[in-house]
Amino acid sequence: MTPLVVGVTSHRDIPAREIEPIRQRVRDFFDQLRRDLPDLQLVVLSALAEGGDQLVAQEALAHGARLIAPLPLPRELYVDDFADATVRASFDMLCSQAEVVLLSNLMEPSNHAVASQGMPRDRLYAKAGVYIASHCHILLAIWDGKASGHLGGTAQIVDYHLTGTLPGLIDRRRDTRHVLGGGDESLLYHIVCSRARPDGAPAAGLKPLQAGWRSADMQTTSTELPAEFRLMFARMAEFNAESDSYAAAIEASSQDVRSEATAIIDRTFHAADWLALHFQKRVLLAMRLSYTLAALMGIAFTFYAHLPAQDFLIYLFLLLFASGGAVALLAHHRGWHRKYLDYRALAEGLRIQSYWRRAGISANADHEFAHDNFLQKQNIELGWIRNVMRAASLYPSLRPQPATSAALAEVIAEWVGDSATCGQLHYYERKIAERTGRHHITETVGKISLWGGVAISVFLAAFALRLSQDTKVLLVLVMAVLSIIAAVREAYAYRKADKELIRQYRFMWRIFSGARAALDRTDDPVQQREILLALGDAALTEHAEWTLMQRERQVEHSKL
């Protein structure tokens, strides 16, 4: 379902003496990936430029990887940069074994403007490099370690991958997402090389052929894959395994593909959505069992404390306690709660990503999509969700062509919809009614318990001298049972976050209602796309907050 994507950036002028040693370092890198991450299919993104790009592509194919070659220029223009006939032959051979993709949406200038060296051509190379760095999970850099002002050069692509900025092309003004967000998924494998020029020695402190892992947070390289990234990749492999395990059920429930431009995204969405519903049912089952057992525990202990000659009830209490603990332990061990939240967050992110693509919307620039705006406040463990979204939007051959008015109208109808009929407006309206009804039941149970207890107390006070001891005990037991049921029901509602979800659904309904009204006021496709972009950003933010809130409400037997 989701591959491990390795992007490549490299110098072209690697000295001949270092070619074979670097080739061995690349082989060692792929061997390490196969050893550490055996359950993830390997995909390599390489522009097949002269030097390290082609070298890595050759080794990737030798290791059984799938090769995707996003080219910044048409092949007839691109090969002009390969002066050597051997390099051209290698390029043609690699193209025959790769999925060659022309980044046509990056081709803003005309062929005439980029036919010769200059800024327009450099910008296309830079955008291709940014595309590779933005869509890979690991960037393999064969680099001398020196900073460079050359637009789109290896140094700038490495810096973009680690910091999110690229002077002359992309300026994010070092916003908080990158300054405060930590290392996130920015993982780099650096192989140090020299340059075939008089000043070609590596940067100070580096030696040719050194190799190791780096991230935005790591000041030095490491020979071992960092543990936090290993966990993130393990989550990706787990998602793949779950998708395979339930492939038949997922396929049976999937809808027809709406658009070829979103086929990969939609397939991944359907898998994540089905798995989220599947594990949600298991979480709810575990919670209901746990709280039912907790109520029975309280009732059993109450009867044990008030009724004589009922010693067996203490054993029933212990049995119920052990059963509740077993349910909570099973849910925790299988990770049902975590999987439910993760897959729901992934599905919601992919839903927005799919609608944006079908409507011809880009989040910020041509190379960016919804994964760059989602769950940035979460820890690195949740970075796997953005990695899956990144891989799902990888295939530029399926990237959106200019969306038609009909496609835009279809997205608006499906996504936003209308109140009481379809779309997210109808969904949130229905959820508000459902959750409000359930919360009303909880409040009613609480009121019955409260006023029932008050009535029994008044009755006991009024007739204390006339009631038999057995009657008093029975009434006290009724009061206790009512209190236990009300308390457990309230705790269950809190664990499910009913009040918070009602507020969230009402907030989302207001957002979509506002978007619907704004869309109805304009027929301009540009303005409509801007509205849908803002709507998607707001929805992503709210889903992230929901994930964070729900993550604290696991099934925990000790807190019932």
Contacts of 212 (CB under 8 A, 6+ apart): 189, 190, 221, 222, 223
The 10s digit of each residue's pLDDT in 423-433 is 999 999 998 99
CA neighbor of 485 nearest in space, from 289, 291, 283: 291
Bridge partners (DSSP) of residue 44 are 6, 67
Arithmetic mean of pLDDT, 23-30: 97
Looking at residue 380, its pLDDT comes to 58
The 10s digit of each residue's pLDDT in 36-78 is 999 999 999 999 999 999 999 999 999 999 999 988 888 888 8
Q: Sorting pLDDT into bands at 50, 70 and 90, what band is 104? A: low
pLDDT at 517 over 90: yes
Which tops the pLDDT comparison, 399 or 302?
Answer: 302
**What mean pLDDT, rounded, does the chain reach?**
83
Looking at residue 556, its pLDDT comes to 57
**Which pairs with CB-CB distance under 8 Å and at least 24 residues apart come from 76-79?**
77/111, 77/114, 77/115
Give percent above pLDDT 70 in the chain: 86
CA angle 368, 369, 373 (to 5 degrees): 100
Cβ proximity of 423 and 415 under 8 Å: yes
Q: Given the DSSP bridges, would you call strands 99-102 and 66-71 parallel, antiparallel or unpaired?
A: parallel
The alpha carbon dihedral of 494, 498, 501, 507 has a sign of negative
pLDDT at 252 over 60: yes
pLDDT at 168 over 90: no
The alpha carbon dihedral of 208, 210, 211, 213 has a sign of negative
In SS3 terms, 462-513 reads as: HCCCCCCHHHHHHHHHHHHHHHHHHHHHHHHHHHHCHHHHHHHHHHHHHHHH
Q: Sorting pLDDT into bands at 50, 70 and 90, what band is 392? A: confident
Contacts of 280 (CB under 8 A, 6+ apart): 340, 344
Helix (H, G, I), strand (E, B) or coil at 150: coil
CA neighbor of 163 nearest in space, from 181, 150, 178: 178
* DSSP H stretches of helix in 359-422: 383-392, 405-411
Tokens for 464, please give them. Answer: 């204390």
Q: What separation in angstroms does the CA of 189 have from each of 39, 168, 223, 226?
A: 20, 25, 9, 11
Which tops the pLDDT comparison, 345 or 453?
Answer: 345
CA neighbor of 13 nearest in space, from 50, 57, 54: 50
Strands, sheet with 42-45, edge to edge from the N-terminal-most edge strand = 99-102, 66-71, 42-45, 4-10, 138-143, 187-192, 211-215
The 10s digit of each residue's pLDDT in 298-322 is 888 888 888 876 778 888 889 998 9
The 10s digit of each residue's pLDDT in 263-308 is 888 899 999 999 999 999 999 899 889 888 988 998 888 888 888 7
Arithmetic mean of pLDDT, 2-27: 95
Amino acid (1-letter code) at residue 209: L
pLDDT at 355 over 70: yes
Contacts of 463 (CB under 8 A, 6+ apart): none
